[in-house]
Amino acid sequence: MIPIKVAGVNVGEARSPAQAALQYLQPGSLNLTALPPLSLYIHFPWCVRKCPYCDFNSHEAKGELPEKEYLDALRLDLEQSLPLIWGRRIHTVFIGGGTPSLMSAAGLDRLMSDLRTLLPLELDAEITMEANPGTFEVEKFRQYRESGINRLSIGIQSFNGEHLKALGRIHDEREALRAVEIAHSTFDNFNLDLMYALPSQTLEQARHDLQTALSFAPPHLSLYHLTMEPNTVFAKYPPSLPDDDASADMQDMIAETMPAAGYEHYEVSAYAQKGRRARHNLNYWHFGDYLGIGAGAHSKLSFPHRILRQARYKQPGSFMEAAKRGNPVQEEHEIARADMGFEFMLNTLRLTEGFDPNLFGERTGMSITAISKALDAAEAKGLLTRDFKLIKPTNLGQRFLNDLQEMFLGEDK
């Protein structure tokens, strides 16, 4: 998923029932005939150590984690959010971080019990948990599986010890291999995260990482180009990285290797065996809904005449205190019509196979004519193709995805 920066008013400003009703009568309101699928995201904010490239809301664990207090706050957050999602079933759950695998087996079991008590989970819901190879324990992961986790997402990043050190990872190459072996023996479904264009990485080293991952036949692989994100250590002290030609060669190598190994390239960075696409992430990319609970978690929730975004307090302590007070949401705003086309295309253009144009109306409550100028311009530049059945980025559009997405900024103003 792409992180969305949100800003808005503090939801502590209460509205009367009359004010709440008026929002549906204002000119320019949306008209959603059906609500999209709903997912749940749960954020666990602590790591053993913050990686120098990471811009996610993660905090180094110092001393014993306040696991019980945090799980109490998650339950309060969920309980306080229930009125926004009454009557809607949860199709997928994703527990991310941070490093959720720092959670005890008993803590994870308590969390899953709370979810089942408060939410109508689909019987076949995909329930994913992120895990760091430096935290793998065979028995604990078996207990995770027994508690209801049915998919792991493992942050391998590389099988090369020197590259792992350069990335600031807490595991070495042996622990990386052991983690995949444990996942393979314990879970039917798992994802491996790998990165390429790493500091001083050669094409052959990138190829070796990929071949090592493929030797385990993982159901899903996420392959990310290392980027220098703002407000990270790498942004302040950039390492020596492969040049554009070298990183393009790595990208070409991946594009050639993965289909030959039997993987479908269905999203910019995602490859899956047949039937193993990440359902949770697909819901994001199809502009579906998600409730995010936990420190710094984001939500996108649809209603018949509006779409709402929320962000929780980022600092774990602030989040837990706010949850006790009854309002862990720090920021909230409705997506404006002028921004709807960009928000939709920001996600759906990541799908390599494209999307049905009718999805735009279903998920935004607007006519696709609202983005017709940008569609025409992108097609003229050879960045996408379209007809009445499909809108799809071209190979060129995939290579210059940021430029393609930005063409839809402010289209409906």
Q: How far apart (Å, rounded) are the C-alpha atoms in residues 241 and 201?
A: 7
Which among 297, 275, 276, 279 has a CA at the least distance from the CA of 288? 279
Q: pLDDT value at position 137?
A: 81
Are 351 and 272 in the same domain?
Answer: no
Question: Would you put residue 191 in left (φ > 0), alpha (ψ -120 to 50) or beta?
Answer: beta
pLDDT value for 26: 45
Bridge partner list, 40: 93, 291
Of 252, 283, 314, which closes a domain? 283
Give the residue ranges of DSSP H helices in 151-263: 161-166, 173-186, 203-214, 233-236, 244-260
121 shares its domain with 237: yes
In this structure, the answer to whether residues 277 and 391 fall within a common structural domain is no
Residue 193 in any domain: the answer is yes
Counted residue by residue, the chain has a size of 413
The H or E element containing residue 81 is: helix 67-81
* Domain with 349 in it: 337-413
In the numeric block, the tokens 């060129």 are attached to: 396
> How far from chain centre, in Å, is Cα 332?
19
Please indicate, yes or no, whether residues 352 and 219 belong to a single structural domain of this protein: no
DSSP character for 351?
A: B
Please give the single-letter amino acid code of residue 74. Answer: L
- For the chain, what is the radius of gyration of the CA atoms? 21
Q: Is residue 160 part of a domain?
A: yes
Q: Which residues are 307's β-sheet partners?
A: 302
Strands 190-196 and 391-393: unpaired
Same-domain check for residues 242 and 170 = yes
279 and 347 fall within a common domain:
no
Q: How far is CA 276 from CA 126, 305, 375, in A?
A: 11, 34, 31
Supply the CATH number for residue 350's domain. Answer: 1.10.10.920
pLDDT for 311-356, tens place per residue?
999 999 999 999 999 999 999 999 999 999 999 999 999 999 999 9
Residues 349 and 278 in one domain: no
Contact (Cβ atoms closer than 8 angstroms) between residue 304 and residue 283: no
The bridge status of strand 121-131 relative to strand 90-97 is parallel
User: Same domain, yes or no, for 274 and 371?
Assistant: no
SS3 at position 172: coil
Which residues are registered as beta bridge partners of 311?
A: 298, 331
Point out which residues pair with 201 in neighbouring strands. Answer: none
- Of 244, 261, 283, the residue at which a domain comes to its end is 283
Question: Is residue 118 located within the same domain as residue 195?
Answer: yes
361 in the same domain as 241: no
127 inside domain: yes
CATH of the domain at 111: 3.20.20.70
Query: What confidence score (pLDDT) does residue 23 get?
Result: 38
- Residue 4 resides in a domain: no
Q: Domain count for the chain, please give it.
A: 2
Pair of tokens at residue 99: 């490093």
Q: How far is 138 from 142, CA to CA, in rounded Å? A: 6
Give the model confidence (pLDDT) of 226-258 as tens digits.
Answer: 988 888 888 788 888 999 999 999 999 999 999
Identify the pLDDT of residue 325: 97
Name the stretches of the chain with pLDDT < 70. Answer: 1-28, 411-413
Q: How far does Cα 215 stand from its chain's mean position?
A: 26
User: Is 19 inside any structural domain?
Assistant: no
d(CA 88, CA 16): 25
Residue 404 located in a structural domain: yes
Q: Is residue 23 part of a domain?
A: no
In this prediction, residue 120 carries a pLDDT of: 96
For residues 168-202, b (16+ Cβ closer than 10 Å) or e, as one string? Answer: ebebbbebbbebbebbeebbebbbbbbbbbbbebe
- Are 259 and 355 contained in the same domain? no
**Predicted local confidence at residue 29, as pLDDT:** 75
Residues 357 and 376: their CA atoms lie apart, in Å, by: 14
If asked whether residues 262 and 356 sit together in one domain, one would say no
Phi/psi at 313 (nearest 5 deg)?
-60, 135
Residue bearing tokens 């390492």: 239
Q: 192: left (phi > 0), else alpha (psi -120 to 50), else beta?
A: beta
Residue 15: per-residue pLDDT? 38
Q: Is there a domain that residue 97 lies in?
A: yes
